[in-house]
Structure 1
Amino acid sequence: MVTDGDWDSIQPAFSADGKWLAVVSNRSEDRKENRLSDIWAIELATGRAERLTAGDGNYSTPAWSPAGDVVTWVGHPITEKYGPVTLDDLFIYDRGADELRGLLSSHDREPGNSAIADARYGLPNPTPVWAVDGSAVYTMLSDAGSVHLYRCAVDGPAAPLLDGAQDIQSFTISNDGTVAFAASTMAIPTEVFVRRPDGTVEQITDINRAMLAGVELGEIREVRFESDPGVEVHGWLLTPPGFNPAVRYPAIVEVHGGPHGMYGVGFFHELHVLAARGYVVLYTNPRGSTGYGQEFVAAALGDWGGADYRDVMAGADYLASLDFVDSNRLGITGGSYGGYMTNWVVGQTDRFRAAVTQRSTANRISTYGTSDMNMTYNDWEFAGTPYDNPAHYIDRSPLTWVKNVNTPLLIVHSENDLRCPIGQAEELFTALRKLGKTTEFVRFPNESHGLSRAGKPAHRVERLERICGWFDRYL
């Protein structure tokens, strides 16, 4: 046995000479009450463990250089100002020189793939990959909805190797520098591509051709509009297949989860389904989203239902300004944090004619004690604990404002959801029914927080039919 103790050791990475093993582990004394993770190097001959990080943050995905003298990893210290949303960096640590450097510190973007989609096939963020000669480290980087592949020189700048409007999900690099990568676009689900050393890119699979044959997809355009003065919101507008600009369509605002994720340029099945039912779909990245820099992602800390809400409502204003949108037939939906925002919105305004809340929270105090992550996460997201700052938790809980809800609201929730427990949906439904509001509650047995992405196929179809049916009825 290489490791012991009552802690986890994950993401093992062996040095090239087989003498060392790097792992990710939280071995702090209060590890059950914090979200720290460190990189540890274990000498296999002796079992001696050496902590390479400072015990001050979240670090993961270690990888050894080909020579075995340098280790790289992704992560961040939990800073006083930004806490758990401090942007990750790609670090390299020279063990001999005891020197630690960040290779992406000047980019104000986060390594890895932060894009949210429902057709990703479970591909994980890959470990940073070393060039065979040890001159550079390759990693993905999330930027304004796109996910690029960067080459980060050990002794020079970091620059994109693959950029443009695509969602790179996984990659590997051969000894001659050829890159194989899985990626999707707005119109093409995930396929495998190859980038040759001369820079040419070739798609080498076409597994989705039969599925898309005879299917007409709506067109997607990139949009930007102002929210608060000087604040630009970035997103995309999906129009129905056979779009006619002379027709006034009902429209739906989609709010992503997180809040520290991002909608992007990858294929999103749910959005295309809604468009195929005749809806214009607006999906944006309000404040709190990743991909737009440190200040933007941190803008929602302690202010859920504040600046982010104004950005969502600016999206409704943008839709209403379009000649082909019927401003009296707007809907809203979202899951997880997007479900929270849906609940919040319908308690603050009657602007939307119908709403669907998915895997949501409504009572932030009870969420704090029952979610699988909120005991530490909420300390930052809601400016302290509910015991120290109860007024804020109450004020920013959608359940507090449930008497104001006049929008017909469908509640969709999985019974095995540990992130947003089923009790959140039950509390909201009970209140709405008690108050005589228009609502329905759809419960999915034996499903988790990931129903929309990884649920049973029959349940995923049923979920989409329920969502579309609700909007068909009330929009």
Structure 2
Amino acid sequence: MTQDDAPTPFHDLDRYLELPRVGGLALSPDGMRLVTTVQTLDAKRTGWTTAVWEVDPTGVAPARRLTRSRKGESSAVFAASGDVLFTSARPDPDADKDAEEPRTALWLLPADGGEARVVATAPGGIGGVVAARAADVVSVAAPVLPGAAGLAEDEKLRQDRTDRKLSAILHAGYPVRHWDHDLGPDEDRRFVGSLGAGEVTTGSAGGEGRLTLRQLTGPGRQLDEHEVDLTPDGTTLVTTWNVADLGAAQRGTLVAIDTATGESRALVDDPDADAFAPAVSADGRWVAYVSETITTPEQSPVVRLGLVSLDSPDADPEILADDWDRWPTSVVWLPDGSGLVVTADEDGRGPVFLLTFGADGPGGQEPVTVERVTADDATFTDVRVAPDGSALYALRTSYAAPSEPVRIDLAAFAATGAAGERTPVAADALRGPSPAPALPGTLTEVETTTADGARVRAWLALPGTAAADAPAPLLLWIHGGPLSTWSAWSWRWNPWLMVARGYAVLLPDPALSTGYGQDFVQRGWGAWGGAPFTDLMAITDAVEALPEVDATRTAAMGGSFGGYMANWVAGHTDRFRAIVTHASLWALDQFGPTTDHAYYWAREMTPEMAEANSPHRFVADIRTPMLVIHGDKDYRVPIGEGLRLWRDLLTESGLPAADDGSTVHRFLYFPDENHWVLAPQHAKVWYQVVLAYLGEHVLDAEPELPAYL
């Protein structure tokens, strides 16, 4: 089938890779402009490039592209003036033409039109941009070598490392890597500058206006993976701040930093919880945040909203809506400070909720209320509030469509219902940069009740051809996390690619999934091989009973924790014709000390729990063909898991390699990929191999693989 013949982009992998991907959203201080970023294939089709687009908040005008370069642009935010700030590694026309490949710099696109220009640079690049809403203050993060006092010295030390061809990193603490990258030798520090004339200097090559960046924080790993917000007047920066904890562990706190003096003070330092996602109120008096209790092998985390006073140094933080049995994922303030706009997982969706303070306001004694605002069967991210509080803007996503910008009418929500009860409202789609692609099937919802009385629900994607007289083969997809849910479009694990080839795809939320309450998480805590497994089998039983599903042709697939569960499934049932396990945990005694944040794992299971729940113990019971997939640069689930699984399958499984070395198992190995497999052509190979393997074992088809493999 050629691209032109394919009825949808999901019938052709090349067309699928060409689909634009929208991410991020920023609203101007006056509420008149929205910007987002759009990721597309580069000219060689081997990488991604990102551009900034403008979206009309009224939904009248079409989206328009604001930036264009080979290097791309990202992290767009609005300055108080309405200028757009973004980061990019594209060449600076005012820089020395003989300079080396440029690092990511901070660029400014004027609100009144004109060319974008560089306003700040750092030897190690710039990121983490945040701008004050009512002042010309901007703060950025820049990685600096620990021995450097500032940016000038950092540049000299970097050049020295380059000249000596040094890559060594000397660590004095833990962790030493995160997800897919090494930590060090440089460390993030925060800087601040003013876009006003008083702190802007001439560029090194005579260019217009460069920020004078003042350093706010010094050496140390306190800002690894940090999150920040600025007070509207730009006088205080609130940031997460990592502190050392027992057992080579870290704990997240919140600190407030005076942007004029660099003096800092602790806002939230709870020995029993991590604090993150700080959001400063419009009056600059309060900080809302998310609190997550530190787990034990017996107790799962509790995630709640927190509130702390910014102008009362001696005030204690408080937990809000402690009886609301949902885990907040993001928080922003209403402009008048009367409440918080919160997102949280719920029943395979991620709605918007409104937390309203009592009449005595934040910090008062009156109880708060929490109401669901959105009625959509969707997940909302990047929520922004209009300056007058009349509307919300967000990205909406689900398994029916990728992220798209929408408007949520808060005024309409406030006007619904009676006797204080308000009815959720549907979001209105804006004219985004990319229309949703046509789907090759339908999305429905299924559920069942397990033997212990638990309700387990799932999304089921069905091909349009599925019927009682032509049932579709079934793929069970198991999500990662494990504290996660199938609630949002995924470009990496996209069920519609499989639906386009005739498969039904089941996306269940078993025990440990979020959005079903604390007890549902606790059911699987410390016992991954228990309720999560039986929940998956129960919902699979229910779906196999549907007339449009072929129970005789099934396979199971999962990545990360889903890969762990795929391995567990393989050792505990032979009901599936094939199993695909990606970036999977195999031997938990080996995984625990070698994952990038081993201290978190030590809080999750005792050695005895890990032994009882380790899939490798059941290798002899595996009688299902398995496709193992792993990337060498995966630091969350190190490559040793994949290597040991592969060797064990060939030597100890119920389907070992034959005497001549032939095997029904396969190992797809990516030497330079991480946990997710991100390069476009690698993603294509991933699907090609998976589809060929499933075709061989589920459909009894001759496997078709690209010649270059």
Cα pair 1:38 1:55 within 8 Å, conserved = no
Shift of residue 66, structure 1, vs aligned partner = 2.1
Cα pair 1:253 1:315 within 8 Å, conserved = no
Q: Provide the rounded CA distance (Å) in 1 between the counterparts of 2:394 and 2:232.
A: 24
Aligned to 2:487: 264
Aligned to 1:193: 406
Shift of residue 258, structure 1, vs aligned partner = 1.0
Aligned to 2:85: none
Cα pair 1:365 1:393 within 8 Å, conserved = yes
The alignment's C-alpha RMSD in Å is: 2.2
Aligned to 1:369: 593
Q: Provide the rounded CA distance (Å) in 1 between the counterparts of 2:266 and 2:564.
A: 39
Matches within 5 A, 1:144-223: 144-155=347-358, 156-177=368-389, 178-199=391-412, 201-209=427-435, 212=437, 215-223=438-446
Opposite residue 8 of structure 1, the aligned amino acid is: Q
Cα pair 2:243 2:250 within 8 Å, conserved = no
Opposite residue 326 of structure 1, the aligned amino acid is: D
Q: 2:255 aligns with which of 9, 23, 40?
A: 40
Q: Provide the rounded CA distance (Å) in 1 between the counterparts of 2:636 and 2:296.
A: 25
Cα pair 1:346 1:406 within 8 Å, conserved = yes
Aligned to 2:216: 2
Matches within 5 A, 1:231-310: 231-264=454-487, 266=489, 270-310=494-534
Over the matched positions of the two proteins, sequence identity in percent amounts to: 28
The change in CA–CA distance for 1:289 and 1:14 in structure 2 (over 3 A counts) is same
Cα pair 1:336 1:361 within 8 Å, conserved = yes
Shift of residue 409, structure 1, vs aligned partner = 0.3
* Total equivalences in the alignment: 446
Cα pair 2:297 2:525 within 8 Å, conserved = no
Opposite residue 443 of structure 1, the aligned amino acid is: Y
Shift of residue 396, structure 1, vs aligned partner = 2.0
User: What CA deviation, in whole Å up to 9, does each residue of 1:75-102 have, x standing for no partner?
Assistant: 223266865x423212111353725333
Q: 2:291 aligns with which of 67, 75, 88?
A: 75
Opposite residue 13 of structure 1, the aligned amino acid is: D
Cα pair 2:465 2:502 within 8 Å, conserved = no
- Secondary structure of residue in 2 paired with 1:345: helix
Q: 2:548 aligns with which of 324, 327, 332?
A: 324
Q: Provide the rounded CA distance (Å) in 2 between the counterparts of 1:463 and 1:90.
A: 39
- Secondary structure of residue in 2 paired with 1:273: helix
User: What CA deviation, in whole Å up to 9, does each residue of 1:387-444 have, x standing for no partner?
Assistant: xx3xx43332211111111101001111111111111111111111124252000012
The change in CA–CA distance for 1:314 and 1:102 in structure 2 (over 3 A counts) is same
The change in CA–CA distance for 1:371 and 1:354 in structure 2 (over 3 A counts) is same
Opposite residue 474 of structure 1, the aligned amino acid is: H
TM-score when normalising by structure 2: 0.60
Cα pair 2:473 2:550 within 8 Å, conserved = yes
Shift of residue 108, structure 1, vs aligned partner = 0.5
- Secondary structure of residue in 2 paired with 1:418: coil
Q: Provide the rounded CA distance (Å) in 2 between the counterparts of 1:367 and 1:79.
A: 18
Q: Provide the rounded CA distance (Å) in 1 between the counterparts of 2:315 and 2:236.
A: 17
Aligned to 1:92: 307
Cα pair 2:394 2:405 within 8 Å, conserved = yes
Aligned to 1:14: 230
Q: Provide the rounded CA distance (Å) in 2 between the counterparts of 1:28 and 1:417.
A: 25
Q: Provide the rounded CA distance (Å) in 1 between the counterparts of 2:550 and 2:255.
A: 57
Cα pair 2:377 2:398 within 8 Å, conserved = yes
The change in CA–CA distance for 1:395 and 1:87 in structure 2 (over 3 A counts) is closer
Q: Provide the rounded CA distance (Å) in 2 between the counterparts of 1:160 and 1:66.
A: 23
Shift of residue 57, structure 1, vs aligned partner = 1.2
Aligned to 1:412: 629
Aligned to 1:355: 579
- Secondary structure of residue in 2 paired with 1:417: coil
Opposite residue 631 of structure 2, the aligned amino acid is: S
Which of 1 and 2 has greater Rg?
A: 2
Q: Provide the rounded CA distance (Å) in 2 between the counterparts of 1:197 and 1:305.
A: 44
Cα pair 1:165 1:265 within 8 Å, conserved = no
The change in CA–CA distance for 1:208 and 1:78 in structure 2 (over 3 A counts) is same
The change in CA–CA distance for 1:103 and 1:441 in structure 2 (over 3 A counts) is same
